Amino acid sequence: MTPLEGGRTGQIWRDGDTVVRPSGAWTPTVHRFLRHLRDSGFLAAPEPIDIIGENQEIVSFVAGRVCKDLGNSFVGSERMLLSAARLLRDFHSASQGFLERDSEGQTWMLPPQEPREIVCHGDYAPYNVATAEHEAVGIIDFDTAHPAPRLWDLAYAVYRWAPLSDPSHPGVMSGLNEQLRRADIFCSAYGATAEERQQLPETICRRLQALVNFMQARAAVGDGTFVEHVAAGDAQL
C-alpha cells in the first residue's frame, strides 16, 4: 500500500484502486449516503466498499490531482473555479432524497443544521476536490457530511474557493476585490439566487463560527486530529 499525502499523514493509504482510511461512528451512515449518490447517477464521489473492524473503511480511489494552494495556476484558475461550483451544484442535486429514504438510524460527525434540506459535504475545499485538465472532477473525504441547508455548504465552499480570508494569512493569494470577484463567479456558476446571495455573508460567519466551536471542543477532549488543526492555526484562520 502507498501512503497518500495530505491530512492525517500515515493514516490514509492507497491499495490499487481502493483507499484504506480511518472510520468513525458516522461511517456506516456515510457509506449509505455514498451509495445513494451513485444510485442517483452521481459518480464523482468514492464508492463505499467495506468497513473493517471498528476503525477502518475501504472506499474506491477517486482519480485526479488534489491541491490546496489556490495560488497554483492549475488549481486557482477561473476554469477550475467554475467547474468546482458546478460540481457542488450537481452533488447537492444528487444528495436530495437521502434523508427521507434512509430508514436506518443516522449518525453524523458534525451536528445537523436546520432546516435539514440535503446532506452537505461539510468541507468542500480544494484539498477535497480531485481535478483533471483544469477542471474539478471528483469529491473526496465525506467524514464531515451532515444534514443542513444547501446554503450552509455553499457558504463554506465560497469561503474556501474565493478564498474569503485575510491576505496576511499564508496561502491567501489575493486582496478583497479579487476575493469578491471569485466569490461572485462561484455563486453564478452554482446558480445561487439573489436571496441566497443576500444571506451568504451572515451564513458564512455562522458556518465558520460553528466550525471553530466544533474544532475547539474536539481538541479540548483530546481528539488528535483537531488538536493538530488548532495547533496549526486553523481556528484563527
Between residues 74 and 90, the one the model is more confident about: 90
The set of residues, in sequence order, having a beta carbon less than 8 Å from that of 191 and lying 6+ positions away, is 89
CB atoms within 10 A of CB 178: 12
The phi, psi pair for 205, rounded to 5°, reads: -60, -45
pLDDT (average), residues 52-59: 90
Distance CA 31, CA 49 (A): 8
Whole-structure pTM value: 0.94
Question: Which pLDDT band, with edges at 50, 70 and 90, does 132 fall under?
Answer: very high
- Does residue 108 have a pLDDT over 70? yes
pLDDT (average), residues 61-87: 89
DSSP structural state of residue 31: H
- Does residue 171 have a pLDDT over 80? no
Placement of cell 495556476 in the chain: 73
- Does residue 25 have a pLDDT over 80? yes
Between residues 65 and 11, the one the model is more confident about: 65
- Does residue 8 have a pLDDT over 60? no
Distance CA 225, CA 215 (A): 9
Distance CA 165, CA 163 (A): 6
pLDDT (0 to 100) of residue 3: 60
Distance CA 43, CA 94 (A): 10
The x, y and z cell numbers of residue 105, run together, are 438510524
pLDDT (0 to 100) of residue 71: 77
Placement of cell 432524497 in the chain: 97
Task: Lowest mean pLDDT of 185-189, 211-215, 223-227, name the range.
Answer: 223-227
Distance CA 111, CA 125 (A): 19
- What is the secondary structure of 161-202 as a DSSP string? HTT-S-TTSTT----HHHHHHHHHHHHHHHT--HHHHHHHHH
The closest of 90, 162, 151 to 125, measured between CA atoms, is 162
Question: Which pLDDT band, with edges at 50, 70 and 90, does 9 fall under?
Answer: low
Distance CA 142, CA 194 (A): 29
- Does residue 92 have a pLDDT over 90? yes
Chain-centre distance for alpha carbon 170 = 20
Q: Is 3 in a helix, a strand, or coil?
A: strand
pLDDT (0 to 100) of residue 164: 92
